[in-house]
Amino acid sequence: CEATCGLTLTIEDGHVTGARGDRDDVFSAGFICPKGASFGELANDPDRLAAPLVRRNGVLTEATWDEAFAAMADGLGAAVRDHGG
């Protein structure tokens, strides 16, 4: 995340089962915040998005990363064109 804490993750059967601070990380030196400590729960949350979403005809639908980046480029281009950059 934005705090750039170094994490060491425990992964079992493709799922994060634990997170601890990486003592060798030059920024966080082993410290992690509550968000980092709960990373396993966040990563395995059944409500977590598994793919990007793109609004099509007013409805959010799953998209590929290429489609999502193209939609962002179109939207940013329109915003700059309409409102200046």
Nearest by Cα to 30 from 21, 19, 42: 21
pLDDT class of 59 with cuts at 50, 70, 90: very high
pLDDT of residue 70: 95
Residue 41 one-letter amino acid: E
Split into its structural domains, the chain has a count of 2
Contact of 5 with 32, CB cutoff 8 Å: yes
67: how many CB neighbours lie within 10 A of its CB?
A: 15
Residue 69: both structure tokens together: 């980046």
Share of the chain above pLDDT 90, in %: 39
34 is a domain residue: yes
Distance (Å, rounded) from C-alpha 15 to C-alpha 9? 10
Nearest by Cα to 8 from 26, 20, 25: 20
26 is a domain residue: yes
pLDDT tens-place string over residues 41-54: 877 888 988 899 99
Shared domain for 57 and 39, answered yes or no, is no
